[in-house]
Structure 1
Amino acid sequence: MIEIDGSRGEGGGQILRSALALSMCTGQAFTLTRIRAGRAKPGLMRQHLSCVNAAAEISSAQVEGAELNSQALQFTPGAVRAGSYAFNVGSAGSCTLVLQTVWPALMLAAGESRVQLKGGTHNPMAPPFHFLERSYAPLLRRLGAPVQLTLQRHGFYPAGGGEFEAVIGGAREALTPFDLNERGGTLEEYADCLAPALPSSIARRELNKLASLMGWPPEQLRNAGVRQNEGPGNALLATLAHQHVTEVFTEFGEKGVTAEAVATRLAQELRRYKSNDGALGPHLADQWVLPLALAVHLRRQPASYSCTELTPHALSNFEVVQRFLPVGIRTRPLGKGQQVQLTPA
């Protein structure tokens, strides 16, 4: 039984999600205590509980402590089964985080899985659907794990109501680690603005301001097609596609914040990334380590990647990965960034 202190490091829900994913992949049980202890509302919230319940369903796990506000959880997985599943967060909580919890285990299962998810698809503090589709999923395919993502309806906080499908192929024998230390040449750069049930002027102002700050011509701006009943909501996205990696950066509009301020925040993120040497941005650097570590472990081959920075979130994730897998994770400066090196123990 692996014992994990949920208050260590960054101390957020990622510790829970990574522990669930790795527990199912390795068959190792764990106990997690002091869950989100440093947060204003500690313990399991609805979207965290959705992750626990989804993990329990695909692996026939025995679970203790799976209830709202619980600060302790014991999870003992059974065999992971490929198949058709449907998970509904039941609120505007992120359903992309639920997918990332079950994705690693289903990609190691025998056979194809079809997962239908409902909830928030574009949430602050969670990977938006377009990040998974354009940035994360292509790397999984390159790793040897086939996946197809289809967005059926956008879902924003506080209404939720989003829906998408993920088709995940079994890839245990195909996973092959690779190095990702350079972005490669630029292929394209563009911005999307999602603003359902809001005045069209908001999207226009955000895109125009971003174009002004980045020096982008009109053909690099897109007012994405969304249905008005999918909001209200507002997300401004910028996609930077390179030869070896595509990064997606997102800023969310909110009451009291001007369209110009949203665009300015996004431009600042883009400039930080573009002025750095790392292949992966801070969020992708955090999320890429788990599937890569699984491939490194299964194939007994080392791999590395570079990133612009290592956040406390990422460092906490590294610690959880090493609790479950005999994989060493070391970091070192590399140009204007950091390199993460994974080695089978």
Structure 2
Amino acid sequence: MIIIDGSEGEGGGQVVRNACALSLITGEPFRITKVRGKREKPGLMRQHVTAIEAVCAIDGAECEGLTVGSSEVTFRPGRVTPGEYHFAVGTAGSTGLLLQTALMPLVLADKPSRLILEGGTHNMLAPPFDFIAKAFLPIVNRMGPTVEARLVRHGFYPRGGGRIEVDITPAPLQPLECFDRGAPLDCSATALFGALPFPIAERMAKTARKKLPDWPQDAFAVRELPVDQGPGIVLLLEAAFEHVTEVVSGFGKLGVSAERIANTAAGRMAGYLASDAFAGPYLADQLLLPFALAGGGSFTTVKPSQHSLTAADIIERFTGRRCVFEVREGESNMVTVR
């Protein structure tokens, strides 16, 4: 059994999600102590419990300590059973993080699957649906499988109520080398909001326009959602290239001005555009697991995050495959899976 100290490295829920996915794929049981040990509220939260319940349903796995607030879990995998599954995270727990846990085991199954996930689709500290659909899944599909995701209803924090549907046609994962973005194709900045005053979204879009002066004026837009899908607001910045799309988001938060949120998000996008890296920091996090399961591959990225380094450690414990981070001064950093 693999023993993991959940307070090491990044010390968050990513350790739980990656361990569950890898356990289903490799058949290795694991125990995590000090779950989410570096968080302000350590232990399992509702969305982590739902994610583990989901993989237990998919795999017939057994898990001890599966309660909200638990600081230790012991997980014993069963056998992955593809099919149609419906999971509700509850409140605004991230549907994207739940998908992150269940996707790779189903991608490597022997038959197609369909997931219906309800909860948060656009919430802080998790990849929004737009990132999953436009940045991450196209790379997975280039590796062999076909994964199609649809956004049925938006769900913001704290209300939630969102819904996504995902169809998975499995196939063996093939290694990729992702160094070149290709030519730029399109860019957009959308202030997406519901059940909030229009001027907040307008200020957000105007601030982003000042921070990204090279983008055309018609790239900036404000979109209002039905009132029952709010309250909530997010600035979504997309830069599409031939071989990759980067999606940066900035979420509204009580006590933080629209201008500050937009400045931060646009600054992150400007930093990515100023580099020649293939993957931004969040896409790099997501690519480590499929690249490791493919048995190899390389991509360039910006400065590796603590999330990425922690994910690499968990991957090596289950698979024996190393994610090597080569920091190159004045150039994009190289990540190679061996």
- TM-score, normalisation: structure 2: 0.97
The superposition leaves residues 251-283 of structure 1 with CA deviations (integer Å, 9 ceiling, x where unpaired) of 011222222222111121112111222211111
Q: Structure 2 residue aligned with 1:212, among 205, 210, 213?
A: 210
Q: Who is 1:105 aligned against? A: 105
Alignment of 1:51-200 (within 5 A): 51-172=51-172, 175-200=173-198
CA contact (8 A) 2:59 2:77 kept: yes
CA drift at 1:95: 1.4
Secondary structure, aligned partner of 1:288: helix
Q: CA deviation at 1:159?
A: 0.6
From 322, 325, 329, the equivalent of 1:328 is: 322
**Separation in structure 2 between the aligned mates of residue 259 and residue 90 of structure 1, nearest angstrom:** 28
Task: Give the alignment's Cα RMSD to 1 decimal.
Answer: 1.2
**CA–CA distance in structure 1, aligned partners of residues 199 and 69 of structure 2:** 41
Structure 2 residue runs of 5 or longer lacking an equivalent are none
Where 2:53 maps in the other structure, the secondary structure is helix
TM-superposed deviation, 1:224: 3.2
Q: 1:253 is matched by which residue type in structure 2? A: G
Deviation at residue 43 of structure 1 after TM alignment: 0.8
Pick one of 304, 307, 310 that aligns with 2:304.
310
TM-superposed CA distance for 1:303, in Å, is: 1.3
User: CA contact under 8 A between 2:191 and 2:236: conserved in structure 1?
Assistant: yes
Equivalence for 1:267:
266
SS of residue matched to 1:234: strand
Alpha-carbon shift at residue 333 of structure 1 (Å)? 2.1
Contact in 1 for aligned 2:315/2:322 (Cα 8 Å): no
In 2, Cα distance between the equivalents of 1:265 and 1:10?
A: 22
Partner of 2:246: 247
% identical equivalent positions: 42
Aligned match of 1:38: 38
Q: Report if the CA contact (8 A) 2:248-2:268 is conserved.
A: yes
Whole-angstrom CA distance in 1 between matches of 2:86 and 2:32: 26
Instruction: Say which is worse superposed, 132-141 or 263-272, in terms of deviation.
Output: 263-272
Tell me: CA distance 1:225–1:169, structure 2 relative to 1, closer, same or farther (3 Å): farther
In structure 2, C-alpha distance between the alignment counterparts of 1:38 and 1:142, rounded to whole Å = 35
Larger mean CA deviation between 128-137 and 276-285 belongs to 276-285
Distance 1:235 1:225 in 2: 11
Structure 1 segments, 4+ long, off by >6 Å, are none
Report how far residue 313 of structure 1 moved: 0.9
Taking the aligned partners of 1:49 and 1:316, their CA distance within structure 2 comes to: 21
Pairwise CA distance, 1:158: 0.8
Q: TM-score, normalised by structure 1?
A: 0.95
Q: Secondary structure at the match of 1:223?
A: strand
- Give the CA deviation at 1:304: 0.6
Letter in 1 for 2:155: G
Query: 1:233 aligns to what?
Result: 232
Query: What is the deviation of 1:178?
Result: 0.7
Task: Please state how far the C-alpha of 1:225 moved relative to its aligned partner.
Answer: 5.1
Q: Deviations over 1:152-211 (max 9, x none)?
A: 110011111111101111113xx2111011212111111111111111222222112211
Alignment match, 1:341: 336
CA–CA distance in structure 2, aligned partners of residues 288 and 331 of structure 1? 13
Report the Cα distance in structure 2 between the residues aligned to 1:142 and 1:193, rounded to whole angstroms.
Answer: 30
What is the alpha-carbon distance in structure 2 between the residues aligned to residue 324 and residue 311 of structure 1? Answer: 21
Q: Note the 1:2-41 alignment, pairs <5 A.
A: 2-41=2-41
Native 8 Å contact 2:288 2:323 kept in 1:
no
Aligned length: 336
Long gaps (5+) in structure 1: 297-301
The within-5 A match list for 1:258-297 is 258-296=257-295
Question: Structure 1 residues 225 and 177 mapped into 2: Cα distance closer, same or farther (>3 Å)?
Answer: farther
Deviation at 1:104, TM superposition (A): 0.3
Q: CA deviation at 1:226?
A: 2.1
Q: Deviations over 1:75-95 (max 9, x none)?
A: 111110110001101111111
Query: d(CA) in 1 for partners of 2:327 and 2:5?
Result: 29
- 3-state SS in 1 of match to 2:322: strand
The one-letter code matched in structure 2 to 1:132 is I
